[in-house]
Amino acid sequence: MRISIKKYLLYSSIFAIFTELFYFKLGIDWKLLYLIIITNFVLLIRLKKLQFNKYFFLILAGLFIHAVIANTIIGVPYKYMLAQLIGITILGTYYYNFISLYKTSELIPVYLKMCLYAAILGYIMYFLRINLNDGRLQSIFTEPAHYVVVVLPACYYYLKQKQYWLFLIIFGTLILSNSSIGYIGCALMFVIPNLSVKRVVSLLAAVPLVIGILYYIYQEYPFFKMRVEETYESLNVINTGKFDDQTNLSSYALISNLNVARHNLEDHPLGSGIGSHVYMHNNVYYSGIRPPEYIRIQKKHLINSADANSLFTRMISEMGLLGLALIIFLLVKASKVYSSKEMALAQGIFIYFLLKLFREGHYFPPEFYFFIWLFYFIYQENKNQVKAEAA
């Protein structure tokens, strides 16, 4: 019985990160994910005593104290902070305890297999024209970008393991997703592993030359100059909040949230507290934004205000300079996985973290804590192995 429960937990907990499409709306969104996590929590407690990672506890405690102070000073209702911390605590605690039940060598093959199944289903649904988003492949997810970020670590793993047929199966779906975040991820798979201190220094040394060439082209070629000025005007909306009527919805979502984050950072350099971006957006800074008329008519003027459209934007808005410091610290620490070929999947998860910073600022999508703790345990296992070999 003990073994069968462990096996069920293994497959169902990893399957949970692929269940985004399985929900119905009755007052709120009732998701299959919730049923799996609640049921599995009960089973998990039968197998082991729940543990709490000390680093996770310190981060949660820091976020709570920071939010209480910031919310009290600024006047943000505490409910925004509590909603986020409760969600983070539940999913973070569950996946930490779940993953600690297994060796990573047991977890990785199951995740890889499910990514392949999702990719194959994606091809079938794509060619049968089922569940497409403007003709773009999204498999059993609600958006192409969501599909991309879940399977991309597996795609990277197969590339590094030289399992090229399996790599191409998933890589092809990333192309068919026609997702900008997917294309960025594809580029990062080839760029990030090949970065080195020497190459970065060489790139920095070439910056003055590149700037000189671009300045010459800007002065001598009217078409290029026009494009630069148009781009500047678009980016200047981050400062002004006044949008051109031709601005598309995706650009509006990105820039309007950057505008709010910029003002929030200026007014509150240490942030306004976790969960507060949506409150500051809708109740404080939205009055300074002039959306395109068609977006106002469609009532999409508050689009992505709940998650700031990207994790980086949200963390800067809600945690200020502390959030920026935390992002830099964690990325520097996490980049150490590129020191060993044995941590190929963790390297793929590192790219997932970068993509999360670019797009979608939700703090607890189902795959987030699965990837965080799988990354953590892969890193710890490799660290322990290196110590054992050195002893």
pLDDT digits (tens, 9 = 90+) for 331-346: 999 999 998 889 999 9
Calpha distance 53→218 (Å, rounded): 54
pTM of the model: 0.90
Which parts of the chain fold into alpha helices (H)?
A: 2-15, 32-47, 54-74, 78-99, 104-127, 144-160, 164-176, 180-191, 197-220, 222-240, 249-267, 277-280, 293-297, 311-334, 344-358, 366-390
Who wins on pLDDT, 325 or 300? Answer: 325
Q: What pLDDT digit, counting tens, does each position of 271-315 carry? A: 999 999 999 999 999 888 888 888 888 888 888 899 999 999 999
Calpha distance 189→345 (Å, rounded): 12
Q: Do residues 278 and 306 make contact, with C-beta atoms less than 8 angstroms apart?
A: yes
Q: What pLDDT digit, counting tens, does each position of 172-191 carry? A: 999 999 888 899 899 999 88
For 234-263, what is the mean pLDDT? 82
Calpha distance 95→100 (Å, rounded): 8
Q: Is the pLDDT of residue 13 over 80?
A: yes
Q: Is the pLDDT of residue 380 over 80?
A: yes
Q: Would you tell me the crossing angle of helices 249-267 and 311-334 to the nearest 10 degrees?
A: 80
Q: What percent of the chain has pLDDT over 90?
A: 61
